[in-house]
Amino acid sequence: MLIERVETLAWDKQGGLLPAVVQDADTLRVLMLGYMDRAALHATLDSGRVTFFSRSKQRLWVKGETSGHYLGLVTIEADCDGDTLLVQARPAGPTCHLGTQSCFATAPGNVLVELDALIASRERERPADSYTTRLFDAGVRAIAQKVGEEGVETALAAVVQDDAALLGEAADLLYHLAVLLRARGLSLPQVSAVLAARQR
């Protein structure tokens, strides 16, 4: 565990600070870069809220202490040289002070995880003008039938249509499968975990 390695990290390389790259634990989008000293790292591990050493304020700074957009710690690890940290966290709102998810405007994320989160919000909120709401209202059997139809359309596109059509049908299939999983109380990240376990 990292807590046991704190004193063995390469603190002296950069004046007692280590760069800490923060990544969304679910979407894998890079959110920001901050710096941690020993105290910030211990505070992060102890509190579960990502804490940095602010070079401008010259003090510990809990991300979100003003905005309320905290970063909930999931994991933290050091790189192979012990001079950089990778922090995986769950953000409670936008990470950037400009109100965006990431301080890096075009940082890539996992679109399927983002789709799953959107579908989950549709299930909770049930907006009246949403196709997803209509699917949930129709029930598991109707959604399963739609997945079957989309599967057939995807297979047919693979045989008789061009690449663009196949990709479009595959996207439709994944969307409807995500809705079906959510209707059963499951999620695409759980499917990803099954796939990851099969690779071991």
23-60 burial, b at 16+ Cβ within 10 Å, e below that, comes to bbbbbebbbbebbbbeebbebbeeeebbbbbeeeeeeb
Output the domain CATH number for residue 137: 1.10.287.1080
59 within some domain: yes
The tens place of each residue's pLDDT in the chain, 200 residues long, gives 466 688 889 999 989 999 999 999 988 999 999 999 999 999 999 999 999 999 999 999 999 999 999 999 999 999 999 999 999 999 999 999 999 999 999 999 999 999 999 999 999 999 999 999 999 999 999 999 999 999 999 999 999 999 999 999 999 999 999 999 999 999 999 999 899 999 98
Owning domain of residue 12: 2-91
Domain check: are 84 and 118 in the same one?
A: no
What is the number of structural domains in the chain? 2
160 within some domain: yes
- What pLDDT is recorded for position 123? 97
- What pLDDT is recorded for position 200? 81
Phi (first) and psi of residue 143, to 5 degrees: -65, -40
Domain boundary among 61, 91, 121: 91
Output the domain CATH number for residue 44: 3.10.20.810
Domain check: are 22 and 71 in the same one?
A: yes
37 within some domain: yes
Q: Residue 39 contacts by C-beta under 8 Å, 6 or more apart in sequence?
A: 53, 60
